[in-house]
A and B are shown apart, each in its own frame.
Chain A
Amino acid sequence: MATAPSVRLERPRRSPTPRALRAALTSSLAIYILRRLVWAVAMLVVVSALTFLIFYLFPSADPAALRAGRQATPELIAQIRRALGLDRPVYEQFYLYMKNLFLHFDLGYSYQNNISVRSEIFSRLPATISLTVGAVVVWLAIGIPVGVISAVRPRSRLDRVVMGAALVGISAPVYWLGLVALFLFASDIGKVPLFGGAGSYVPLTQDPAGWFSSLVLPWFVLATAFAAFYARMVRGNLIDVLGEDYIRTARSKGLTERRVILRHGLRAALTPVLTIAGLDIGILLGGAVLTETVFNIPGVGRFAYDSIVNSDLPSIQGTVLFGAAFIIIANLIVDIGYALLDPRVRY
């Protein structure tokens, strides 16, 4: 429509985006990230101080006695206590721990078996990542479509059935669901032996098929509650968004209903969902304790569980710090990512 554009208007113009991006990176965004990182370090110090305090203030088994074994003499226990540094005041232990952490990224050694906590966590990380990433894929692949279908026909029979099932999914405890899954489908004890059972985890690099088979049940068990929660969240957000004026505009343009719902509705409804997904991933990377314990997956969560059982302070500290770091990093990534998802957000 309108007048023909002049020749000058037709000239192709180079996009200013890279320069703008560089400018942004060197200014507000960079400062923002830096500030957040400083806070992250402070937060981690506070978290480990709290872990120390809780460990010493609340009754737990004496780590030295546990280490010494069944028939330990008091002299042996005292000797172990000295060797582990447990005879020193708490603040001194904390100071030493922090010093090693900051200077050498050293998380200390297990009271239980003298293994380096850092290398123990890193060696277990692939299992936890495998579990988390697979579960995320499963729950997003189920939760988003189910939420959309429900939102398009709210209060229909399908919506009611699906949302009822989602409520059950949210309410079912992971450990119970895990045991039921093992009982039904595990290759060793299952009624219908389809997938690997508890303790069948093998690393991906060793045996991809075995890795996959061993993780199918944990993926679905861990994803169930999340899928249900996400379906409800997507449904709620999408119903709200579909009532917005700009959806009416999209329809009045003559777009197909499919495009209205997916391109206009879902796009807006997913922004908060992806934000929460980022946080959930961060939390799970710190260790999915229950799932890893039920399925005996040698991940960070299982390690956390074992260290608590053994009153193994350095291991507890290590897993707590690791989990906290993942959550903080996930938070930061989500907040930065939000600006990419929603152009109205600026730092």
Chain B
Amino acid sequence: MAPLLEIRDLHVSFRTRDGVVRAVDGVSTSLGRGETLGVVGESGSGKSVTALTVMGLTRLPNAFVGGQIVFDGTDLLELSNEALQHVRGRRIAMIFQDPLSSLHPLYKVGWQIEEAILAHEDVSRRAARRRAIDALAAVELPNPRDLVDSYPHQLSGGMRQRAMIAMALVLNPDVLIADEPTTALDVTVQAQILELIRGLQKEFGTAVVLITHDLGVIAETADEVAVMYAGRVVEQGPLETILEAPEHPYTWGLLQSIPRLDTPRRERLRPIQGTPPSLIHAPSGCHFHPRCPYAMPMCRTIDPELLESDEGHVVACHLPVDEKRRIWRELRPREADAA
């Protein structure tokens, strides 16, 4: 079956005063119906720009967008702004990192949800209001009938994010893009929000793109994981494969830099050496080679393609497969011992 959303060789660059920023530099990935795709990577790896481009929110005078974003058989990049409006919110919805700044401070929460309904459906205000209340109840907010008349500043951070989710899901979209939905929240609230998203996803069959820099969040939620680095997907595969048998040195680095309660005290965290590359003057060849401990001469000149190494597991790295499996076996026992 064709995937619900397929991104093919997406390029997004912005002309700025300092030069052309290649924020997304050849991203290919796909998402099936009802599936959860976790997108993980450092700040500036192009996660959010990819998501915003799917929503058509990077259509700016200084932006160049190339490639294809095929959603349910249509290339979204080919659509007019007007046609795209019918997709936004109704079929693909998005929630953002900071729920306070993402809600309009001068309008009531209920009004903002009603507005989303009225933008796409020809229903009365009364009916829209009733559905807004139902939506607030569905995200397990207390007293939804009072909350519709509250302003965002009267809600706590967790409640606001719930309200954002209610607004995003009120039209029962096919895809929910969640861009760092828990980053601005307390740890205890984070888990609740993730659980809520998972529950609603099961109930409504929504496919979810969960963007985060936190592999812990991915491990809890995703079916499929895409690892991004410097504007590209460097590895993608099923969750277990990425956690158990990753084949990209960057993914190894990410997995090793997670602090764990069960690692011995003396063991130090292992950060990935170096800093993320400039997206204006990206390194030649493999973008990761300046930070890669296993880089070979060819990595400096030849850009590795994203190739299938296993069924459903793609990696962009020049290292021979046997070599990669050997290195990971060496890196991994540390965790196995601890566990």
Contacts and interface: CB of A to CB of B under 8 A. Distances in A.
Verify that A and B bind, or say they do not.
Answer: yes
Interface of A: 1-3, 5, 9, 13, 244-246, 248-257, 259, 264, 267-268, 271, 341-344
A253 B119 contact: yes
Contacts of A2: 134-135, 137-138
A256 B116 CA distance: 11
Given A253-B119, A254-B90, A344-B153, A1 B135 contact: yes
B138 A1 contact: yes
Nearest to A247: B104
B137 A249 contact: no
B57 interface: yes
A265 to B, nearest CB: 10
A5 B81 contact: no
A13 B153 CA distance: 25
Contacts of A1: 131, 134-135, 138, 169-170, 172, 204
Contacts of B116: 253-254
B101 A9 contact: no
Given A1-B172, A344-B153, A252 B55 contact: yes
B41 interface: no
19 contacts: A1-B204, A2-B138, A5-B134, A248-B52, A249-B103, A251-B88, A252-B57, A252-B88, A252-B89, A252-B94, A253-B115, A253-B116, A255-B85, A255-B115, A264-B104, A267-B107, A268-B104, A268-B106, A342-B106
B105 A246 contact: yes
A263 to B, nearest CB: 8
A341 B115 CA distance: 19
Interface of B: 52, 55, 57, 81, 85-90, 93-94, 96, 98, 101-107, 115-116, 119-120, 130-131, 133-135, 137-138, 145, 151, 153, 164, 167, 169-170, 172, 204
B106 A248 contact: no
A1 B90 CA distance: 13
A271 B119 CA distance: 25
The SS class assigned to the B binding surface is helix
Given A3-B134, A9-B133, A254-B119, A248 B151 contact: no
A271 B164 CA distance: 24
Q: Top 8 A-B pairs ranked by shortest CB distance? A: A2-B138, A254-B89, A254-B88, A245-B101, A253-B89, A246-B104, A253-B116, A252-B94
A9 B90 contact: no
A106 B167 CA distance: 61
Nearest to A13: B145
Given A1-B131, A3-B137, A5-B134, A251 B57 contact: yes
Contacts of A250: 104
A242 to B, nearest CB: 11
Nearest to A2: B138
B268 to A, nearest CB: 37
Given A249-B96, A254-B120, 15 more contacts: A1-B169, A2-B137, A3-B137, A245-B96, A249-B103, A251-B55, A251-B88, A255-B85, A264-B104, A268-B105, A268-B106, A342-B105, A343-B105, A343-B151, A344-B105
Contacts of A257: 81
B57 A267 contact: no
Contacts of B115: 253, 255
A344 B151 contact: yes
Contacts of B94: 252
Contacts of A267: 106-107
Contacts of A245: 96, 98, 101-102
Nearest to A268: B106
Quick one: which of A250, A254, A267, A344 has the most chain B CB within 10 A? A254
B57 A253 contact: no
B198 to A, nearest CB: 16
A248 B53 CA distance: 12
A267 to B, nearest CB: 6
A204 B160 CA distance: 54
Quick one: which of B98, B134, B164, B172 has the most chain A CB within 10 A? B134
A250 B37 CA distance: 24
Contacts of B96: 245, 248-249
Contacts of A3: 134, 137-138
Nearest to B84: A254
Contacts of B167: 253
A267 B104 CA distance: 10
A245 B160 CA distance: 14
Contacts of B204: 1
